[in-house]
Structure 1
């Protein structure tokens, strides 16, 4: 094939790209007529077209296609390529600027309601009012509340964002590149397509590249595919496509190394195919550009806001009309109606919600959990399904030697001893398998020395590694290659007797064995014995174990003459079974999650057998597992039906994971969390209600997450879920208590407006009462939450708020009306010395007008105090389904603030501020009646609470 010059190819591509972008060679804009010309670098399926071509063609064809050679690019070619493709970096999501973060902190449905009320109050109380009647207090109070709430949210989320950003350390990573025949170290960002790179153990893969030459190359692809074991990479082209399938996936490409993966062992030379956003990692990142779905918290806030708005739209006009009819003063009626609207709205709601979330974030930070998005705390508490990857979450994310067995499947330390000699003395870079063998040998209590030809083991009580090194020395080795798929080491003992020790894949080892060591004797490998061995290996694989076979041969040939020809007529000694073991805490954490009402589902790109074995060990059922190949054939409805019953999904692509999460949310109605740390998990985290990652995750995963764990442990996540439910519990108890109390006040005002000759409370008194009550509720975020409440998932239920208001609001109105009757018929006449009827009969005189004003002030003071007592004490009744103060006690801060609020309001009529507030002192007899009224109210409220729980099954 004719080799084109690199510069010619790059210049042609440059012209094609400029034409496709609508620009000529000087960068000037013209008609975009050449879009199709750029299709040669368009993605095909999940992978870039260049990657697909290189995977299916030889190294020679690939180099020709890329316009390069084994000597690498020239400096001029590099500059042209960099101008064409840009830097080798994936475009990450941009951080919100200061203005956007401020807007998000201060603009939400709750503050919008308050803002509308503030504008109405500004007009009625300030702009349209007479100069002597102007009262900006309502506007000021609302503004202070909004500022406090927004500042708390902005400060907490900025702090969390900074903490998350600090995890992403800026490290300049370099790679070895061959240019003009010379090796040089360059930053990842300087790589361009067609560069030739050198790779060795420990290297990060800087770009999607085609392997040209490889020696014992194993690559960790877990961040992309979830595969726990290293993947072998070779330079061989892929076999021809079978069937109708034309696209390739990452797992198919055994000759391609991908950005974001790393070299476990071996070395390689590769040609760069795609960089930056054109890589597989970059294409996955594009999925994250879509607007995230509305979460459980978002829906809950919107529903509660709609309930409050509808309630105001119904009640406020009714209050206005009744007051206009009865008082004949539309301006006073309008001012009072606006005050009612303010009183209906839980003004401290934004502050309480933000404080609850901030307090939850602080508590979780002490458990090494960083909250990037405050609303994620409540989403975490509402979660009833947790989807998680397997590797590193349920497992330790490293390979261990689980068993070392003889041919019959019995534990045999002599097999481990031989395996150690092979792994320790091979000169190639130690891969995960070798390290696991050495670590397991080091754990033995004695040295497994093979003492005779029958393979018996001499138990020598000394350090096993030092002992084996002392008794055996290396003579020669036959390195690993991808044709044989095995490697051999020749060792000699103290007497000079040599032994060839070979390990490799079971089938490859069987192919060079003629006998097997059974009960200390070498027995011929008959067809039946071979079948038994294959069945035993299959059974180990079914348990999720990766099996390596081990063979040996005594005195193969004289020293210095060993070769692959010696790997014949060998004796099969046994097997090594490896596993990425489950975490010690995984089973307990999953049991805890289940006990708290959270179902766990494993979504992995790894092998189904391995995943099933892990699930069995941690308490999850692998029955009814769904494979990625099945998912594409199912409709959303069919997938939803199966997903409800399935706990394991295996061999999934990143988009299939995201689809499972979406179906569980949208079709099944679950609140879904997703925990992962790989690039293949990012789309699923974005599709979930709450994305969870860890500080060691790839950048894209951390950017997609709402919560970052500093320890990848499901038990930590379980603690976070409980904290989320406590946070929600305190938010919902405030909303329900305040909404029902305010509804009762409005209902009471309606009755008073219809029958009283004056307002039961002035607009200023209503706003002041609401303010003091709301401040006393500021300690709700620090209140205790009953253990029964956090035992199951909790979501926003706007309809339950309406039911709560309807049941408990009128309960308080009954005693408000009793208070009206007491004040109007007993207390006020006793203070004034005259009934209202007598005052009305003598209306027109200055004395009568003064007494009427005092009558109203005493009445308003009485209801002012009674409202505060009942509103504050009912907090302790409604905060728990248990008996207040006895079975469940509020936190100390809440106790102090509520009783301080009662004391302040009770004292106000007796202070110098009373005339300014329109209040008047009350007689001592009033407080005796007040105690009876409050006791009766609390008794009735507890009775209603019992009936409510019987009817609806829960209180909050």
Structure 2
């Protein structure tokens, strides 16, 4: 019985799979074999089994995603983990170490052949070098894996979104989750995420240059084509990778991923390597300089050995070659590139948690150098909680009570207390708000999950009109109107008009328009006063414009409202409307001059958007950091100046420069203006580009915010393009280097601060790594050149004696280069990074002062190391210890152990000293728990190397007594003391110069 049920379940599953497979084949046939542009949209919807009114269900979309796969182009297969691990060995230094290993093995064979008893049983030097190479590779692999994870998490945060109709509601999903049959909802600024068949469009224009090469945006219409046409002429199709420049539309997705037109022509090359960041390029440059310097030093040392000690055997030659390799190993920090990538990736991920999503690691360097931040006003400097507070009509002025998006409030006369609003004024307010509600692309919804909570869908300014209309029930009065045509708002037109039919009045058509009052007024010839319509006089115009000035002076954003009954029920019957040979209107937006003529002025609204309380402090902090804040807005100059003065961007009474004034300037005058003016009003998007280019010509590093599609050129041209994460379009987000998840100006300033901290931390671990490695080079070089003076070589002895072994130097690098340097990369802020002027991009990461600091610490480190060795050798400069019964070799092993340990501790003290170029190491000494953890682990491992017997053989060490440990720590601490003295002197010099660091 059980087996029969299993068989039935299995058969049922097979049948379901077969049905689904058949469906997939049918859908795939439509996608591959049928031209949707020649098929009616309803037939396309039927073939893809989707209702265009509700879209796919979530369950169905999930099933199709599993069947068709993610909506993305195929890429090169991921690199296997074993290849990534082997890639850690693809380094010239590693090749050098392998040569050293071969030399060590040869030396071991020779020693075995020429030593009674066979010598050492195994080639310890070679084994240790190989072991350290493997450990280094493991650390590098782990660091790169962490960096990849951080970047992958960042990519998920910046993943493009697409608006689709699912379960009857418009939702935003990751573009990769779009499936065939989805209903895509398009708006101005959206990036088209898949190929699709349009079934609705209003003044829709799409830029298809990326696909067809057509430089002018293409008008789109849903009508079925009569014959097959070239890609660029398929006006009822949308294509993946293109962008909406104007209008709105809806389409059925017919192709995703590799089944799109872009997918068919995609170049299927293997993934290319990421371009090196400026920091990485400079690090490569530094490594080359160090490598060249080491080669020169190695040649000098070998020559000195040949002249002073001579090569008396093959052992001497081999030891000398190992010494040269030791110098190379000592000079260049092998893990530098990996540590740099990890620190940048972790820093960027940390910034993302604070709502600043930096898309590229290389942008961090630019962030810390910003000298000007150009910001939009609405939503960035202000709360973006737009509220209609005033309605001014020809018969009076009322105030709408209530704040936020909750439609709760009423109208009262301005200055009239609780006096009832006259009926004539009430009717005009209704007409004004009704026009604003109909000529509107926004929406207001009550949250399903939180009843009583309202969600604004679309532009906050438009939503504020809907809220105001619902407060006074104007929306009910105009509920019978249905939109039939639209002339969309653009930043150039500064107005919007729709044509609506009144279903309660024989379907008669009326034009409703809204826009900037001074702009809309130019299209009005009549005015509605007290229930009657009369000609608009010059006196009326002056009164209206004076009211605009008054409201703007009170920081209100003003919008004018107008209307015109057309007296017909069909657009084709409107006088002046042009139709084609079939009697159809091709695109109503192209006939805006007819639609928007002879309008009747209804009134205007005053909308307030209060400044964000935290922005004033952020502006002050930016100013303290030498960063100028510039406000750029399309609002009225008086409104802009008022908000700017409230935020501290300009002094009270300061003026704003308008777009018209910018147009009248030549390049020289423009540069002078932008160097002085910090507020720009009534500007178009192209003015943003002119402003940012002018600032850049003056040597500024400019950040520019934007949200609309037309902001993209300015955002892309800026040194730091910043897109709004909430209100920003996909086109702008793609053009930007940084996205604000909260659309808040304070987040930009916080990101600049974080960028400066990250850059400071990079300089910290570079100072630490390079000074420590230079200290190793100086130790080896000084030990060879002064071998006789220090007692490293004894009078009459033959052969080459080096101060430290190659395995010891390798161990020091492994111990001190990885964990402490990585811990310094996440060091908390030690200096006041916002108390200094912005860094220029031309400034070197490692400047002259740092090189002096590196050389100074390196010399001190080498000196204390060699002094410590000298104290345990016979015939030394500071002590003249007698050779004990065990002989010079045993004494040399003890001295090497001393030098080895002193150098390790000196570098750990250097880690504390390197946390700041000027500030004392004792300020915030215990603030970095990761650094202290790394120091503790390093000390523990060094103790293990000294006291574990088989490691004594591998590293040429011997156990040290208590007194020796005191000597090691005491001498090593001199590095910290010397650093403190050096910093105190430099602080005094800086103070005398008046330099803030």
Normalised to the residue count of structure 1, the TM-score between the two structures is: 0.62
1:332: how far off?
A: 1.7
Q: Which residue of 1 aligns with 2:308?
A: 326
1:771: how far off?
A: 1.9
Confirm or deny: 8 A CA contact 2:556 2:606 kept in the other structure.
no
Q: Which residue of 1 aligns with 2:560?
A: 548
Q: Which residue of 2 aligns with 1:137?
A: 128
Q: Which residue of 2 aligns with 1:452?
A: none
Q: Which residue of 1 aligns with 2:824?
A: 780
Distance 2:106 2:996 in 1: 44
Question: 1:92-149 CA distances to partner (integer Å, 9 max, x unpaired)?
Answer: 99867535999999989x9856446445545544589757656153355345435533
Instruction: Please tell me whether residue 360 in structure 1 is matched to residue 347 in structure 2.
Output: yes
Q: Which residue of 2 aligns with 1:797?
A: 845
Distance 2:982 2:813 in 1: 24
1:851: how far off?
A: 0.7
Q: List aligned pairs for 1:331-342, cutoff 5 A.
A: 331-342=318-329
> Residue 140 of structure 2: SS of its match in structure 1?
helix
1:872: how far off?
A: 1.1
Deviates more, 1:731-740 or 1:875-884: 875-884
Q: List aligned pairs for 1:862-877, cutoff 5 A.
A: 862-877=898-913
Cα distance change on mapping 1:346 and 1:208 into 2, 3 Å:
closer
Distance 2:153 2:541 in 1: 61
Q: List aligned pairs for 1:829-868, cutoff 5 A.
A: 833-834=882-883, 851-868=887-904
Cα distance change on mapping 1:733 and 1:475 into 2, 3 Å:
closer
Cα distance change on mapping 1:206 and 1:379 into 2, 3 Å:
closer
Instruction: Please tell me whether residue 350 in structure 1 is matched to residue 337 in structure 2.
Output: yes
Distance 1:380 1:189 in 2: 40
1:763: how far off?
A: 1.5
Cα distance change on mapping 1:624 and 1:482 into 2, 3 Å:
closer
Instruction: Please tell me whether residue 743 in structure 1 is matched to residue 774 in structure 2.
Output: yes
Distance 2:94 2:535 in 1: 89
Q: List aligned pairs for 1:274-289, cutoff 5 A.
A: none
Confirm or deny: 8 A CA contact 1:672 1:690 kept in the other structure.
yes
Gapped regions of structure 2 (runs ≥ 5): 1-36, 45-70, 113-122, 167-177, 210-218, 222-241, 252-257, 262-270, 400-412, 414-420, 445-459, 488-495, 503-509, 566-573, 575-597, 788-792, 794-800
Confirm or deny: 8 A CA contact 2:147 2:346 kept in the other structure.
no
Question: 1:619-644 CA distances to partner (integer Å, 9 max, x unpaired)?
Answer: 5467567779859964xx99777655
Q: List aligned pairs for 1:382-397, cutoff 5 A.
A: 382-387=369-374, 393-394=380-381
Confirm or deny: 8 A CA contact 2:136 2:814 kept in the other structure.
no
Q: Which residue of 2 aligns with 1:878?
A: 914
Distance 2:534 2:825 in 1: 75
Question: 1:156-192 CA distances to partner (integer Å, 9 max, x unpaired)?
Answer: 3355336635744566679xxxxxxxxxxxx99999x
> Residue 798 of structure 1: SS of its match in structure 2?
coil
1:439: how far off?
A: 7.3
1:337: how far off?
A: 1.9
Cα distance change on mapping 1:547 and 1:336 into 2, 3 Å:
same
Confirm or deny: 8 A CA contact 1:418 1:501 kept in the other structure.
no
Confirm or deny: 8 A CA contact 1:674 1:690 kept in the other structure.
yes
Distance 2:630 2:831 in 1: 25
Counterpart selection for 1:721 from 729, 733, 752: 752
Confirm or deny: 8 A CA contact 1:682 1:701 kept in the other structure.
yes
Instruction: Please tell me whether residue 576 in structure 1 is matched to residue 605 in structure 2.
Output: yes
Distance 1:147 1:691 in 2: 37
Counterpart selection for 2:472 from 465, 468, 481: 465
> Residue 824 of structure 1: SS of its match in structure 2?
coil
Cα distance change on mapping 1:902 and 1:439 into 2, 3 Å:
closer
Instruction: Please tell me whether residue 531 in structure 1 is matched to residue 542 in structure 2.
Output: yes
Q: List aligned pairs for 1:168-247, cutoff 5 A.
A: 168=160
1:720: how far off?
A: 3.4
Confirm or deny: 8 A CA contact 2:305 2:784 kept in the other structure.
yes
Counterpart selection for 1:947 from 969, 973, 985: 985
Cα distance change on mapping 1:948 and 1:611 into 2, 3 Å:
same
Q: Which residue of 1 aligns with 2:244?
A: 260
Normalised to the residue count of structure 2, the TM-score between the two structures is: 0.59
Gapped regions of structure 1 (runs ≥ 5): 1-67, 76-90, 175-186, 192-196, 225-232, 236-257, 270-275, 280-288, 449-462, 491-499, 554-563, 836-846
Question: 1:441-489 CA distances to partner (integer Å, 9 max, x unpaired)?
Answer: 9989xxx9xxxxxxxxxxxxxx9536x89xx978999999999979999
Question: 1:27-74 CA distances to partner (integer Å, 9 max, x unpaired)?
Answer: xxxxxxxxxxxxxxxxxxxxxxxxxxxxxxxxxxxxxxxxx99x9999
Distance 2:707 2:754 in 1: 22
Q: Which residue of 2 aligns with 1:761?
A: 804
1:401: how far off?
A: 2.7
Counterpart selection for 2:948 from 903, 911, 927: 911
Deviates more, 1:333-342 or 1:872-881: 872-881
Counterpart selection for 1:811 from 860, 866, 870: 860
> Residue 847 of structure 2: SS of its match in structure 1?
helix
1:943: how far off?
A: 0.7
Confirm or deny: 8 A CA contact 1:395 1:583 kept in the other structure.
yes
Question: 1:480-537 CA distances to partner (integer Å, 9 max, x unpaired)?
Answer: 99999799999xxxxxxxxx999867637973249799xxxx9998755653443444
Distance 2:363 2:390 in 1: 43
Distance 1:422 1:356 in 2: 59
Instruction: Please tell me whether residue 507 in structure 1 is matched to residue 536 in structure 2.
Output: no
Cα distance change on mapping 1:736 and 1:162 into 2, 3 Å:
closer
> Residue 884 of structure 1: SS of its match in structure 2?
coil
Confirm or deny: 8 A CA contact 2:189 2:729 kept in the other structure.
no
> Residue 98 of structure 1: SS of its match in structure 2?
coil
Confirm or deny: 8 A CA contact 1:858 1:920 kept in the other structure.
yes
> Residue 334 of structure 2: SS of its match in structure 1?
coil
Confirm or deny: 8 A CA contact 1:516 1:525 kept in the other structure.
no
Q: List aligned pairs for 1:634-713, cutoff 5 A.
A: 634=667, 645=676, 647=678, 650-653=683-686, 657=689, 670-682=700-712, 687=717, 691-693=721-723, 697-713=728-744
1:759: how far off?
A: 1.7
Confirm or deny: 8 A CA contact 1:343 1:770 kept in the other structure.
yes
Confirm or deny: 8 A CA contact 1:404 1:416 kept in the other structure.
no
Counterpart selection for 1:895 from 925, 928, 932: 932
Confirm or deny: 8 A CA contact 1:832 1:854 kept in the other structure.
no
Q: Which residue of 1 aligns with 2:440?
A: 431
Counterpart selection for 2:139 from 132, 135, 148: 148
Instruction: Please tell me whether residue 421 in structure 1 is matched to residue 469 in structure 2.
Output: no
Confirm or deny: 8 A CA contact 2:561 2:604 kept in the other structure.
yes
Distance 1:160 1:388 in 2: 27
Cα distance change on mapping 1:878 and 1:135 into 2, 3 Å:
same
Question: 1:576-611 CA distances to partner (integer Å, 9 max, x unpaired)?
Answer: 23477766655554444444444445677x578599
Number of equivalences: 764
Instruction: Please tell me whether residue 98 in structure 1 is matched to residue 85 in structure 2.
Output: no
Cα distance change on mapping 1:787 and 1:206 into 2, 3 Å:
closer
> Residue 338 of structure 1: SS of its match in structure 2?
helix
Distance 1:368 1:716 in 2: 7
Confirm or deny: 8 A CA contact 1:160 1:370 kept in the other structure.
no
Confirm or deny: 8 A CA contact 2:946 2:952 kept in the other structure.
yes
Distance 2:669 2:142 in 1: 47
Distance 1:112 1:687 in 2: 37
